[in-house]
A = this chain, B = another copy of it.
Amino acid sequence: MEKIIVINGPNLNLLGTREPDVYGSTTLASIEQRLQIVGEDLRCKLAFFQSNHEGAIIDRLHEAREHEDGILINPGAFTHYSIAIRDAIKAVALPAIEIHLSNIHAREAFRAHSVIAPVCLGQVCGLGVIGYELGLQALVRHLRNEKE
């Protein structure tokens, strides 16, 4: 049974209240609940982590080396400058998928560039909450492929 850590970066704890026209009206808790259900369907085990602290996210990524098999991460604003998180993902050497609720290509120019994407398997953006579910599916299928 694969273990997946789902990491959400800064300000995502405000989901549902923050700029709902951009980010939708679902709360982070309900996203995590839905993922929990999807995870059970896929027979994998999820852990959840949200922080507004870059360092805490890095610490949690390091822990994943011992406790999880894959990473689903929405780095929020850190997407655009946290080379430290990029290096952490590369260092722990687990497969990771980057998720964005909004279409980062249809907003301010600086949001189109991710410093983290190059060390992930791939990126899903603009599909709202569904993006997390799809990312989870892809990650689990990727992990199972590796084992078979």
Binding site for B on A (CB under 8 A): 9-11, 13-14, 17-19, 51-56, 58-59, 62, 65, 76-78, 80-84, 86-88, 90-92, 97, 103, 105-106, 110, 112-115, 117-127, 130-131, 134, 137-138, 141-142
A137: nearest chain-B partner, CB-CB: B134
Nearest-Cβ distance from residue A48 to partner chain B, whole angstroms: 17
Structural contact, A105 and B114, CB atoms closer than 8 A: yes
- CA gap between A15 and B18 in the complex, in Å: 34
Structural contact, B83 and A87, CB atoms closer than 8 A: no
Contacts of A120 in B (CB 8 A): 103, 105, 126
- CA gap between A31 and B113 in the complex, in Å: 29
Contacts of A58 in B (CB 8 A): 10-11, 52-53
